[in-house]
A and B are shown apart, each in its own frame.
Chain A
Amino acid sequence: MKNSIRWIFPFMVLFLMTGAMPREEAIVADEQLRVITNGGDKVMTFKSLKKIMRGEKQRWSDGKKVTIALLKTNTGVGELTAKKVYGMSPGQLNKYWLGLVFQGRAEAPHFFISEELLILYVNSTPGAIGIISTDPDSSDNLATVDGKKVF
């Protein structure tokens, strides 16, 4: 009996650890991100995407003002976006934008709690760009990054 418990214990620990981990985290790890724009460039490189998203490039090629829309970093997609696009933790992202806004060097992104709201905002805001994980109903606003629809 004692031998059987010694054999089962590591599996129980592993099981419990797996169960305690956030379910979304597990999902996010596999999420793919998509870029949607409203009237902006539909083809871009990841480098130019980063420039736009970091507020370094504030105008589209046609001169329209870039308006950034992001999911809040307390969402899985928001956190993934911070990591993939900004290379920052959620806190670092906040501090990054705080610095820019405080100094008036850039317009802060609009943060949303759901992708639906984000998509609605982008669709209704000319020059807006947003990052989502789900495939939008209309592919008209979907941009390619380094030739890919998802990254």
Chain B
Amino acid sequence: MRITLKAKIWLTVSSITLLFAGFLFFYFPAKQQKTLQESFEKEVYVTAKTVALGVSIALTEQNFKGVKTSMEYIKSDPRFVFAALVQTDTLKIQNEIEVSQDVFAVEPFGYEYDPKTTSVEGIMIKRYPFYSPTMNGDIVVGFSEDSIHEKLADVKMKGLSIASGVFLFGILVGFILDRHISKPLHHLQRVATLVGKGNREIQLTLKRKDEIGDLADSFNKMTRELKEADLVIADQTESLIDTKNVLEEQHSLMHSSIIYAQKIQKAILPNHGDIKGPFSDLEVFFEPRDIVSGDFYYVAEKDGKHIIAAVDCTGHGVPGGFMSMIGYSLLNQVIFDRGMTDAADILTQLDVELKTGLHHDREDVSIQDGMDMSLVVYGPSKKEIQFAGANNPILIMSDGELKKFKGTKRGIAGSSYKDAPFLAETISVKEGDNIFMFSDGFQDQFGGPNERKYMVKRMRDLFVKISSETCSRQKELISKEFEEWRGYGDQTDDILIITAKV
């Protein structure tokens, strides 16, 4: 619940006022009544005591002045109702002591007072004993309580008057506070809203020498500074817009360059129709993460041998694209210029050429980039293939069994296992065998229900599942599986999968 400042002021003022008025109207009269009652009781009691003392003196000293004076005094009091002299006699009747009390004298004469009476409505009765050899007893005096009631009514009336005055004063204070605090703040709120909407010309015109005046001055100063800041921001915005335009232009140029690089990469990569070679069926699932790819596939025919490679350059995007271009050129150089067709030789020479090309021996310009690849040489015999791998295996589905050929655990121009030679394996194949060559892009893709990597095992299961399909259908199924796994997530890396059937 939102309580406005005005409501808070009125709540505070009315609470204090009502509390004070309540004190004056209820607590103060109650306290006064108690005080009056106690004072009156004491007064009547002292009167009875005075008369009793006078009686004692009169009966022992035969001096009646005290009785006379005290009686004249109490009778002159307008509250006086009666005074009784009660005689107490102690009688011994048949060994039993009996105390009797009789009214010996009462004033005014004829007033009917029962000695056993201790209280009468509207009359304050007090008694005090006296003792003498002649007579023992009590002096009982009764005073009207009307005067107390009158005084109390007077106090209540005064309390009501003062409480009303306090209440009216409270309303006046509330009105003044509202006028001096709440209204200026409302004005400030309205002006602040206008400033918030962009009006920097408006100024508060509160000429006051208090906190609200200070607030108005600060507000006006803030508005002026906002106006100056607006100008600075406008200048900076203009500058940023210029920078943005330059950046957009540069980005456009870079994008155009990259698009053109993509065209070059696409132009270099062989057409799917050209890569089938001696294989009965072959398809490539190629999904660059960016416009240009660090992964690429390579197909070449040399001396009746069909050479096919799946290459994964370190990095992706433009750097990966450069590496792929270098890799592609070096493969052509090794196979066609040097005439190498042995899988292990190709990888070994490629390693040398790439290290030389990237100046791995020079610390100042050396980069440790390289490439992983699996390379298969097929033909002229159709009963076997030669495989060499640089950190990349191949999988062959044969007779319902998926076999893995690991290759050498070392990348081309990579730093690990520096001295390990690239070895080639000759693998017997027969018609219908399905060879899978791939980069690590698919298995490293994040996704699925728990946003985890796809992993090699899941990919192997997928290959087993789709191996009976045609390569074209396999490509569709791989693509579908990839999209489902990735979901709405970003692609992690370039993806390359080559499926070929003997």
Asked if A99 lies at the interface with its beta carbon under 8 angstroms from chain B, I say: yes
Using known A-B contacts A91-B134, A95-B104, A95-B135, determine if residue A101 contacts B58 with beta carbons closer than 8 Å. Answer: yes
Measured between alpha carbons, how far is A99 from B105 in the docked complex, in Å? Answer: 6
Say yes or no: A98 contacts B63, CB within 8 Å.
no
Say yes or no: A111 contacts B105, CB within 8 Å.
no
Partner of A91, one of B63, B64, B106, B135: B135
Say yes or no: A103 contacts B109, CB within 8 Å.
yes
Say yes or no: B71 contacts A104, CB within 8 Å.
yes
Say yes or no: B68 contacts A94, CB within 8 Å.
no
Say yes or no: B62 contacts A102, CB within 8 Å.
no
Say yes or no: A108 contacts B64, CB within 8 Å.
yes
Asked if B67 lies at the interface with its beta carbon under 8 angstroms from chain A, I say: yes
Say yes or no: A98 contacts B59, CB within 8 Å.
yes
Measured between alpha carbons, how far is A72 from B105 in the docked complex, in Å? Answer: 23
Closest A residue by C-beta to B87: A95
Asked if A60 lies at the interface with its beta carbon under 8 angstroms from chain B, I say: no
Measured between alpha carbons, how far is A28 from B301 in the docked complex, in Å? Answer: 181
Closest B residue by C-beta to A90: B134
Asked if B38 lies at the interface with its beta carbon under 8 angstroms from chain A, I say: no
Within 8 A of A (CB), among B89-124: 104-107, 109
* B36, chain A: closest CB distance, angstroms: 29
Measured between alpha carbons, how far is A94 from B133 in the docked complex, in Å? Answer: 11
Say yes or no: B58 contacts A94, CB within 8 Å.
yes
Measured between alpha carbons, how far is A103 from B51 in the docked complex, in Å? Answer: 12
Asked if A97 lies at the interface with its beta carbon under 8 angstroms from chain B, I say: yes
Asked if B453 lies at the interface with its beta carbon under 8 angstroms from chain A, I say: no
> A61-76, CB under 8 A of B: which get 1 and which 0?
0000000000011000
Interface residues in A, total, Cβ within 8 A: 17
Residues of A within 8 A of B135 (CB): 91, 94-95, 98
Partner of B75, one of A101, A104, A108: A104
Within 8 A of B (CB), among A98-126: 98-99, 101-105, 107-108, 111
Measured between alpha carbons, how far is A99 from B84 in the docked complex, in Å? Answer: 10
Closest A residue by C-beta to B134: A91
Say yes or no: A95 contacts B134, CB within 8 Å.
yes
Of the listed residues A90, A91, A99, A103, the one surrounded by the most CB atoms of chain B closer than 10 A to its CB is: A103
Measured between alpha carbons, how far is A101 from B66 in the docked complex, in Å? Answer: 10
Using known A-B contacts A94-B58, A108-B64, determine if residue A102 contacts B71 with beta carbons closer than 8 Å. Answer: yes
Residues of A within 8 A of B63 (CB): 111
Residues of A within 8 A of B104 (CB): 95, 98-99
* B424, chain A: closest CB distance, angstroms: 150
Within 8 A of A (CB), among B44-74: 55, 58-59, 62-65, 67-68, 71-72
Say yes or no: B107 contacts A98, CB within 8 Å.
no
Asked if B371 lies at the interface with its beta carbon under 8 angstroms from chain A, I say: no
Residues of A within 8 A of B65 (CB): 108
Measured between alpha carbons, how far is A98 from B85 in the docked complex, in Å? Answer: 10
Closest B residue by C-beta to A113: B62
Residues of B within 8 A of A108 (CB): 58, 64-65, 67-68
* A114, chain B: closest CB distance, angstroms: 14
Residues of B within 8 A of A107 (CB): 68
Closest A residue by C-beta to B63: A111
Measured between alpha carbons, how far is A80 from B107 in the docked complex, in Å? Answer: 31
Say yes or no: B105 contacts A102, CB within 8 Å.
yes
Residues of B within 8 A of A95 (CB): 59, 104, 134-135
* B132, chain A: closest CB distance, angstroms: 8
Say yes or no: A104 contacts B107, CB within 8 Å.
yes
Closest A residue by C-beta to B85: A102
Closest B residue by C-beta to A78: B62
For this complex, 25 residue pairs linking A to B, each with C-beta atoms less than 8 Å apart, are A91-B133, A91-B134, A94-B58, A94-B59, A94-B134, A94-B135, A95-B104, A95-B134, A95-B135, A98-B55, A98-B59, A98-B104, A99-B104, A101-B58, A101-B64, A101-B68, A102-B67, A102-B85, A103-B107, A103-B109, A105-B109, A107-B68, A108-B67, A108-B68, A111-B63
Known: A98-B59, A111-B62. 6 other contacts (CB 8 A): A94-B62, A101-B67, A102-B85, A104-B72, A108-B64, A108-B65
Chain A contact residues, CB within 8 Å of chain B = 72-73, 90-91, 94-95, 97-99, 101-105, 107-108, 111
Chain B contact residues, CB within 8 Å of chain A = 55, 58-59, 62-65, 67-68, 71-72, 75, 83, 85, 104-107, 109, 133-135
